Chains A and B, each alone.
Chain A
């Protein structure tokens, strides 16, 4: 069974952390992954940086730009994490934009992920229908779970379709926004969280975008299986360095 599915069966709310590979320094990738696991994180999204990250706000954009300046590439990332499964056992997901994967070759990319022990992919700009028609078979051949996003604007029919072709979890974008632009959730968001929870989808939901502290984490996981923290984590390591990662995570009682 895929590590993601196994993790989703655990009787707890899941804390997932996104970070940009190659940031703050090129070779921080592996130690960040190891430290996140040591500090109780349930799942990690390794951000493969892209020059033009359309769905991301200023924090992730800036970290991506820096990571690329540091020399991060798809090949470098694969090289850095090739032995990651010797030390890390929680689910690992690569999150990145489609063009770098397309240039690497989608099949070659998936194959490499399987060799390394990557469990899933999140590709915000790979549309559901293109995935379904052109790439689903390849992802499945290499045992990868593809995670789709839904937003408050996603129609019920589309949510049901996305649920039907997903086999891990659904990434619920907390509000109509790029990453990192929220501070706290209001009634509008909680009613959206509740609306989706009440749909009783086949796939559990994990909420992301705008989770910044224990308060927002608790609010989100009241309705969902887990939550993903990205920009807030990157801000923390930008300001305090990667050595203090445990200080940031302590708040979440993991």
Chain B
């Protein structure tokens, strides 16, 4: 890349773009909803009582700050310094709740009383159902039929929390289709409903709003790393990317720190060239998906193709527009990890550190077999979620 990555802006601009990516490519039926959000989200987020309520809930309800844990045995094995940002220890078991707490508070201030969401792995669905229970709001979660089958415990959780889970039956019956159904619901219910998107995707202002709510991750890493290492900036920050919300939060406060290298890890599925993959930065081309211009996997004719990954949370044919920009400018290095590599890295973390990671997060952990770091490098990996929801997959895969 010839671009001088140090002088670029990696945040959203006033028109809702990250470089050439982003925007709001939505049908007119959604315009009033999205416009209402666009005009209000920054104002609401800046209100002192909003900040107070958000911070309080993150502390008392989610359990933040999440620890920044020095993974000693893992570090020894790979001869470098690996820190894990323990989003898996959050209430509901993943980073997703940082965003749902923020958005439910926005929804309340906008006077909405019906909440809809899409979910892939079920983590975002659970996190949404949780905050709806907390606030006493109606909750409808769209989930692909295939994902309902492979993430059964999370489906049960959502139901226990009082949410209605609606199967998405069209297309590949995974995250992309659940998102289509949620958008259709929003079109049909334009006045009383807020759509809590679960990743840094969708029309502007969603990618920016979700990123801001998730940015607490890197905000904490800064002072936590200072305590551990005497410096705020690691040499690398690493995160897996489905739509890119845990990654956006992990990178956010480092985007304009040129000494911090950014690694984005995508799911290669059965292999980037196998036809069964979700490695968007390699296989994708610029286009429009779910209301934003970004990189997405598509046919030459512009039909969105069906991705594949063993991990439901990474099984998405696009990436958030911020990540498309990071890929295009070369600010981030993109790596792809196959199903097998992720599963083995997940099991390795169990054995070496006593932590069972979500299969999504296992993708980020698998890079240590592919890339060599210096012994003095400080590498912070976002451990975006815990593996409870994936037990059945681990059991079947490893014949436990």
Contacts and interface: CB of A to CB of B under 8 A. Distances in A.
Nearest to B177: A52
A180 to B, nearest CB: 11
Contact of B301 (A65, A75, A130, A154): A75
User: How many residues of B sit at the interface, in one of the four size bands?
Assistant: 20 to 34
B302 A100 contact: yes
Given A52-B304, A54-B180, A130 B25 contact: yes
A155 B190 CA distance: 13
B28 A103 contact: no
Interface stretch (B92-100, B283-291, B348-356): B283-291
Interface string A51-63: 1101101000100
Nearest to B183: A54
Interface stretch (A26-34, A80-88, A170-178, A195-203): A170-178
Interface string B3-31: 00000000000000000000111111101
Given A51-B304, A99-B304, 4 more contacts: A54-B183, A100-B301, A125-B27, A173-B28
Contacts of B31: 127, 153-154, 158
Contacts of B24: 127
Nearest to A74: B301
A219 B301 CA distance: 39
A130 B302 contact: no
Among A50, A52, A150, the one with the most B-chain Cβ atoms within 10 Å of its Cβ is: A52
Contacts of B288: 97-99, 102, 125
B187 interface: yes
B170 interface: yes
Contacts of A55: 27, 29, 187
A97 to B, nearest CB: 8
A151 B29 contact: yes
A51 B27 contact: no
Contacts of A124: 27-28
19 contacts: A54-B26, A54-B290, A55-B187, A73-B301, A75-B301, A100-B301, A101-B302, A102-B286, A103-B300, A103-B302, A104-B301, A127-B26, A151-B28, A153-B190, A154-B31, A154-B32, A158-B31, A173-B29, A181-B188
Contacts of B291: 54, 125
Q: Which of B176, B184, B291, B300 has the most CB of A within 10 A?
A: B184
Interface string A39-83: 000000000001110110100010001001000011100000000
B26 A102 contact: no
A173 B305 CA distance: 29
A148 interface: yes
Nearest to B33: A153
Interface residues of A, number: 39
A17 interface: no
Nearest to B23: A130
A250 to B, nearest CB: 32
B32 A99 contact: no
Contacts of A177: 29, 187-188
Contacts of B26: 54, 125, 127
Contacts of B23: 127, 130
B111 interface: no
A98 B28 contact: no
Contacts of A165: none
A99 B302 contact: yes
Contacts of A104: 301-302
A50 B29 CA distance: 18
Given A68-B303, A74-B302, A153-B190, A98 B25 contact: yes
Nearest to A68: B303
B298 interface: yes
A249 interface: no
A68 B189 CA distance: 29
A102 B170 CA distance: 24
B49 to A, nearest CB: 29
Contacts of B289: 52, 99
Given A50-B303, A149-B29, A154-B32, A102 B188 contact: no
Interface string A181-203: 10000000000000000000000
